[in-house]
Chain A
Amino acid sequence: DAGITQSPRHKVTETGTPVTLRCHQTENHRYMYWYRQDPGHGLRLIHYSYGVKDTDKGEVSDGYSVSRSKTEDFLLTLESATSSQTSVYFCAINAGSGYTFGSGTRLTVV
């Protein structure tokens, strides 16, 4: 769907380790987003990008950083993973006709 792939699909990592999640799109859309989804909180925006090297913070950006060196790739990095960052992470693009989401990455921090 709209050529969005997220990797990995599942990951278990230890507290304190860095983790990078990848979002790849094939359709050259300018806007890309990272959300996390947690029970009781719904989807919350972490960071978004409006072009190569152009990024901004969302609602829950603490502990996360992002990079976008190419139009097609948007990376989310947890600098030092904590148990509170256990969540399902979704990437999305703004395709003009609305948002399209990737299949998600389930991250568990132990």
Chain B
Amino acid sequence: DAGVTQSPTHLIKTRGQQVTLRCSPKSGHDTVSWYQQALGQGPQFIFQYYEEEERQRGNFPDRFSGHQFPNYSSELNVNALLLGDSALYLCASSTLRTSGRNTGELFFGEGSRLTVL
């Protein structure tokens, strides 16, 4: 049973460029959340996708956008990269409870480490 997989694991970009990060959730999970983790900090919530729609969003600018596909996989896109976007980007998957509220445990991928020069 594959866990959460992310690609690429590492990448280097320059300021102003665009990047796309990819995530496949754990088997049986339908909800994907994205987090940004700067060095020495806790993960910061970017947004969450369920049923191919953005359901929740953190305090991130519109340069950060995403998508969820019918197979539940997801992409995170960041446009006009800034030096401050350098971080570990974590994808986490979970499943919506029958109650209709997602309070399930998050399973994290190993992350994509982005360096912006």
A, B assembled together: no
Chain A residues in contact with chain B, CB under 8 A? none
Residues of B within 8 A of A (CB): none
